Each structure stands twice: as structure tokens, then as C-alpha cells.
Amino acid sequence: MSYESKMLEQMAMPTRERVEHALLRSLLRHGGVVAEFNEGEAIVGEIADVFGLTEGQRAAVLKRVYRKENRIVESRLWHRLLFRAADTLAREKLVSRPKATFELTRKKEWMLTESGFDEALRLSDIPAAKKELLPIRSFEVQKLANSIASSPKPENYDPIEPGKRLAKREVESVLRGRGFRIAVVEAYHFKCAVCGLKIAPPDSLLWEVEAAHIVPNHAKGRDDIWNGIALCRLHHWAFDVGWFTILDNYKLQLSGGVSSLPPDEGVMGGYEFIRALADPATGISLPEREDCRPDRAAVRWHQENVFKRKHLI
């Protein structure tokens, strides 16, 4: 038995397999990513809490002698155990290593892969059908989000994808849908492009803001950043039902229906969330990057097919 194994046994530390499972569940709670296990990182203590480790177990130090270099390296037994668990998960392709994640997000974090996500759901007794709805990043989806946010826009961009399948979607297009959501809300810094609302729940996992399709999914709108806009739930609804549209110059146009809107409707406290859009100078907040802005063809489609149509009825 190695010195490390002896120490683990002596200190009654949890088995590596149990730590692997705890790590996967913890990744799920943190939106798919956790920081490297450096000294002082909250995640190190958080997983120790899962096992109710004592101060002694948390502080136990492993001394390794490097004879050739004639030096002794000390490391926390718990950090090492955690690292070894993550390393095993990485070898099994259930998580990506901080170095690989860094390539995508510029953050040194362990990140779930799609198979790691499946495994974490299984361990947490969450039905696989919930997968698409959960705000979890995965290595594959993050890659897609990066590519959605950075691919060059084709000339004469068509926001409609004629072959888009709506009823039974392929795995690939489901992943792209998740990548679309990440790319869009990040481009708008998690803020509603109309009212600027930015808020996350107390666990800060799922931002309130949504990635709205300008040409909607049911009309086969593409999952591209140029066909997307970040909107709070209220403005997402108001946009989809045609209360307002986005003009070519990114100003808003409010529906004429506002003239017959009863005074007690569309008001939240003192905030007139519909009438506030009446000022023709009101526009949307755009992403800093010009190549991420909504495409003209997409906003024109909305003007013609959602906004004007509602007025004809």
C-alpha cells in the first residue's frame, strides 16, 4: 500500500469514487463549471462539507520526498484526493481539464462534458428529459456558443433555415440551441436589450434574461447570434406577440394598439412597461461587437410577419 493510500485510510477519508460522484453533483449545482482546486477556493471547502470532513481531515498534509531533487513537497491530502478524482473524471471524458476549458472561456475551470452532464443528472436523480431546460454549460455546448458568437456572417444572410426540423430535433441541433442561448445572453451581458433588467437567482445559476429568436423557432428561425436578442421575460413576451418591433435603425416601434389599452393594463407599480416604449427615440441596447447585432433581414421579418400582421387582424 502506498504512503498516500495509507494516509487516506488512516485519516478515514472518503473513497475516490465517492469524491468523483460528489464532484459531478457539485458541477451540476454550479452550472457545469468549478474552479481549479487552489488553496482558498470555495469549492474545496464546499465538497469537504458534503462529506462532513473534520478540521483534521481538511488540514492533513501529505509529504512527498523527491530524492533526486533532494526536496520535500507538502500538499493537502484533501486537495490531492479531489484533484485525483477530477483527473479520473477527465480521463473518462466526463469533465474537461482547466487547461482545455481555458482555451474556450479564459477561465481555469473544470467543466462538464455532455457525457459528464448525463452522468451528473443520473447521480442527482434528475430525469434526462430536463437536460435541455437546465442552464448547464458543457464543453461541447461552450464550443458551439463560441463558434456562434464568432463565426463571420454570410453576405445576404437569411435568418430562416428551410430545413430546420421542429418536431423531432437531432442531438446536434439541441446542442446548438443551448449554445445559442449562451452566446446571445453573453453578447448582451445578461441584460434585457429593451429595459436593461439584469438579475440572477440567489444561487446565481440561471439569469432571468432569455435569448429570444427574432424570427421565431416555429417559423424556422436560425439559432444564430444575428437572429437573436436578449430580452427579459416580459419584453420577450411583448416582442413575440407584436407589442413592439425593432426598426432597421434599432429604434423601437410600439403597436398602435396602445391607444385602446385600458389605463390599468401594462402597468407594474408605477412603471408603464408598454407605454414606456412609445417614445420614438427608444432603442435597444446593442452588443458592443457590431458583428453580433441583429440582422436587418431578421428584424424586417419580424416587422412584416409579427408586428404588421397583428395590426391587420
Minimum CB distance to Zn ion, residue 198 (Å): 10
Cβ(94)–Cβ(10) under 8 Å? no
Site string for Zn ion, 4-33 (x = CB under 5 A): ------------------------------
Q: 84 or 275, CB closer to Zn ion?
A: 275
Q: 42 or 199, CB closer to Zn ion?
A: 199
The three-state secondary structure class of 66 is strand
Q: 23 or 193, CB closer to Zn ion?
A: 193
What residues contact 260, with CB distance under 8 A and at least 6 apart?
A: none
Minimum CB distance to Zn ion, residue 252 (Å): 11
Q: Closest by alpha carbon to 31, among 230, 216, 232, 185?
A: 185
Minimum CB distance to Zn ion, residue 144 (Å): 26
Q: 268 or 312, CB closer to Zn ion?
A: 268
Count of CA atoms in the C-beta half-sphere (13 A) of 168: 0
Positive or negative torsion for Cα 200, 205, 211, 212: negative
Minimum CB distance to Zn ion, residue 235 (Å): 4
Number of residues that bind Zn ion (CB under 5 A): 6
Q: Which of residues 183-242 bind Zn ion (CB under 5 A)?
A: 192, 194-195, 197, 232, 235
Minimum CB distance to Zn ion, residue 285 (Å): 10
Minimum CB distance to Zn ion, residue 227 (Å): 19
Residue 114 vs residues 14, 93, 126, 263, 290: alpha-carbon distances, Å: 26, 9, 15, 49, 31
Cβ(219)–Cβ(201) under 8 Å? no
Q: Could you tell me the three cell numbers for 164?
A: 430546420
Q: 157 or 273, CB closer to Zn ion?
A: 273
Q: 209 or 298, CB closer to Zn ion?
A: 209
Q: Residue 162: what residue type?
A: P
Interacting residues toward Zn ion by CB under 5 A = 192, 194-195, 197, 232, 235
